[in-house]
Structure 1
Amino acid sequence: MTRRVLVVTHGGRPRAVAALSEAVRELEASGFEVALHDDDLAETFGDHMATTRLREGVAESEVVMVLGGDGTILRAAELTHGTQVPLLGVNLGHVGFLAESEREDLRAAVQRLAEHDYVVEERTVAAVQVHRPGEDEPLTGWALNEATIEKAERQRMLEVGIEVDRRPLSSFGCDGVILSTATGSTAHAFSAGGPVMWPDVDGVLLVPLSAHALFARPLVIGPRSAYRITVLERSPVPAVLTCDGRRSIDLPVGSTVEVRRGEQPLRFARLSPAPFTDRLVSKFSLPVVGWREAADDAAAARARLTALTDAATDDGAAPEAPHPRGQSPHDAKAV
């Protein structure tokens, strides 16, 4: 039986074109039938026919391989959402939080794929429902990372009301509100001051943007709860809802947006069993040794140097400087 891989990339970038050439060569050498997807039509919010058009040929694929950064992976997610086909991301971007492999490991990733040496992980998405004044039927959408409600005009603040499970919680003026999944907590929500959520946290995060309020802290609800955000009648400006930075819809004054955990998760092919902690440290280049511990190490090094100096003075020999933690004498001299 022929195994098929659908490859998605950003065709306008030289690095992506080079990676695509190598990926096709390696996949075909491993016995895969390769199909390419280069249609950049974004799924329109609430347009399910667009979804059908985009997904042609996806169901026949074992995996959708994505060559690019997180933006390209979010684009490819429009192809696979609602199907059983997993995404395998090869990072060509900067951070690449959603990617499973780096560019230099492309050949190894194909080999692992050929040997069925991967596991499939499911990520929760956010289900989004929009009610606009004068429209009988709501429009529905979804987001892997986040649904962001922002003011449509720069000059004035947006006035919103926040409810949880149809019970009023707060209202305030702001630049907007981010409603994020655990997957998206390291994206827009993180830059706005929200917490990092581990991928298996089955909740939805709300982060206000520049809110003029006493209570405007990030908030996380569980899988059976739902947010309801209303663009209040007193709001001087309308809003715009954007899902994953790709699918947008205007929100006139009086509109409401309901966001909850989606019923259809998105699937990712995973090659590494490393815990999320390791991914977080690697992608954000976190200093595992904190400044207090580093200060203690420096103080201890100075104390050792003083002791060596005193001993050398007594013996008449030159002291050898102590080396920082994890550094060899050769490394210290090279520096």
Structure 2
Amino acid sequence: MKIAIYGQYYKENTEEIIAKVLAVFGYYKPQVAFESNFYDVLKENNLLNEDFPVFSSHKELDGYNMFISIGGDGTMLRAATYVRDKNIPILGINAGRLGFLATVQQEHIEDLLPLIFEGKYKISSRTLLTLDYDGKDKALEDLDYALNEVTVSRKDTTSMITIETCLNGDYLNSYWADGLIISTPTGSTGYSLSCGGPILTPEVNSLVITPIAPHNLNARPLVIPDDTFIELKVSSREEQHLVSLDSRIISIDVETTLRIRKTDFNINLVEFPQEKFLDTLRKKLLWGEDKRN
């Protein structure tokens, strides 16, 4: 088995996580490669006692069987831009706080990680969104995928913006708000949720349109089929507005038509029987918790 490992930061628990991961690998003997920047960080902190191959882009991941992300949900989102259309399952080891995507907690590494070698896991297929617009910089093509959401928002102003929204060529609404979120089922537990959007289970073939602080309180979140072609056009007092794809933010001129659609490939997340989505939902959102009982 060939395994790629990715992380973004060195944290207090990184040493313990790496030690546990390498201990499991020492027993099963997979071929292991580290993302180059993460590898340098681990070397600088003396966490690796041998040399490993490195990779720096999705083009170098041919032939890999598993992609392990070490960090929080933000690291998982960045991991998706490496894997893209290669259908490599992504396993998230949580070194952060919330962990909706990175569901393997460090105290369970030694119990759960061996299951990938024994084939005792399931694949949760997740929808991705892609963004296109006239004048798009070709340098952004490797980063134009969003696992959670595509968001338009105001820039350099306290004034609201107007987001003209069309679905499959038909006019829906002009949202007068701070912004608008186009969320996948995966992202429905993130920014969209904090703005009042509904939670979707991962297997639902839908997207959510959620306005951010709309001035018209009748503008409610809307669930649409995930094969809907979405067009957005922002009007503002400023010359530019912001567009974010997960955590990656760019500035785009107002009156530019943004074209958002589902990609023709999905991201595959590893799911263990002990860490199902509904279990994660209850634990992370504290459903059923009541101090009176």
Q: TM-score range by the shorter chain?
A: 0.7 to 0.9
Bigger-Rg structure (1/2):
1
Q: How far did 1:127 drift?
A: 2.3
Aligned positions of 1:40-51 closer than 5 A: none
SS for the counterpart of 1:200 is coil
The verdict on how the C-alpha distance between 1:203 and 1:73 changes in structure 2, with shifts beyond 3 A counting, is same
Contact 2:175/2:211 (CA < 8 Å) preserved in 1? no
Runs (4 or more) in structure 1 with deviation over 6 Å come to none
SS for the counterpart of 2:14 is helix
2:186 counterpart (173, 179, 183): 183
The verdict on how the C-alpha distance between 1:6 and 1:275 changes in structure 2, with shifts beyond 3 A counting, is closer
Moved more, 208-217 or 267-276: 267-276
Aligned positions of 1:1-335 closer than 5 A: 3-39=1-37, 54-131=57-134, 141-232=144-235, 235-237=236-238, 238-246=240-248, 248-272=249-273, 276-287=277-288
| Residue type at the aligned position of 1:205 | V
| Residue type at the aligned position of 1:260 | R
Contact 1:28/1:34 (CA < 8 Å) preserved in 2? no
User: What is the CA–CA distance in structure 1 between the aligned matches of 2:9 and 2:262, rounded to whole Å?
Assistant: 33
| Residue type at the aligned position of 2:254 | V
| Residue type at the aligned position of 2:12 | P
Q: How far did 1:126 drift?
A: 1.3
User: What is the CA–CA distance in structure 2 between the aligned matches of 1:18 and 1:239, rounded to whole Å?
Assistant: 42
Q: Deviations over 1:33-80 (max 9, x none)?
A: 22111437xxxxxxxxxxx96114322221011121101111111111
Provide the TM-score with structure 2 as the length reference: 0.85
The verdict on how the C-alpha distance between 1:89 and 1:249 changes in structure 2, with shifts beyond 3 A counting, is same
User: What is the CA–CA distance in structure 2 between the aligned matches of 1:56 and 1:14, rounded to whole Å?
Assistant: 31
User: What is the CA–CA distance in structure 2 between the aligned matches of 1:160 and 1:99, rounded to whole Å?
Assistant: 33
Contact 1:204/1:260 (CA < 8 Å) preserved in 2? no
Moved more, 270-279 or 176-185: 270-279
Q: How far did 1:195 drift?
A: 0.5
SS for the counterpart of 2:164 is strand
| Structure 1 runs not aligned, ≥5 long | 41-51, 295-323, 325-335
Contact 2:184/2:206 (CA < 8 Å) preserved in 1? yes
Q: Deviations over 1:193-214 (max 9, x none)?
A: 1110111111111111111225
| Residue type at the aligned position of 1:203 | S
User: What is the CA–CA distance in structure 1 between the aligned matches of 2:37 and 2:85, rounded to whole Å?
Assistant: 19
Q: How far did 1:17 drift?
A: 3.0
User: What is the CA–CA distance in structure 1 between the aligned matches of 2:289 and 2:217, rounded to whole Å?
Assistant: 34
Provide the TM-score with structure 1 as the length reference: 0.75
Q: Deviations over 1:228-280 (max 9, x none)?
A: 11013xx212211110112x322211111122222110011222276533221
User: What is the CA–CA distance in structure 2 between the aligned matches of 1:165 and 1:111, rounded to whole Å?
Assistant: 46
Moved more, 73-82 or 274-283: 274-283
Q: Deviations over 1:110-147 (max 9, x none)?
A: 21112122222211111222235xx799x762210011
1:46 aligns with none
User: What is the CA–CA distance in structure 2 between the aligned matches of 1:124 and 1:218, rounded to whole Å?
Assistant: 19
Aligned-residue CA RMSD in angstroms? 2.4
User: What is the CA–CA distance in structure 2 between the aligned matches of 1:273 and 1:256, rounded to whole Å?
Assistant: 44
User: What is the CA–CA distance in structure 2 between the aligned matches of 1:106 and 1:185, rounded to whole Å?
Assistant: 27
| Residue type at the aligned position of 1:36 | F
User: What is the CA–CA distance in structure 2 between the aligned matches of 1:274 and 1:110, rounded to whole Å?
Assistant: 12
Q: Deviations over 1:286-315 (max 9, x none)?
A: 1267x9xx6xxxxxxxxxxxxxxxxxxxxx
Q: Deviations over 1:5-54 (max 9, x none)?
A: 111123421312331132123213211122111437xxxxxxxxxxx961
The verdict on how the C-alpha distance between 1:76 and 1:65 changes in structure 2, with shifts beyond 3 A counting, is same
User: What is the CA–CA distance in structure 1 between the aligned matches of 2:76 and 2:110, rounded to whole Å?
Assistant: 19
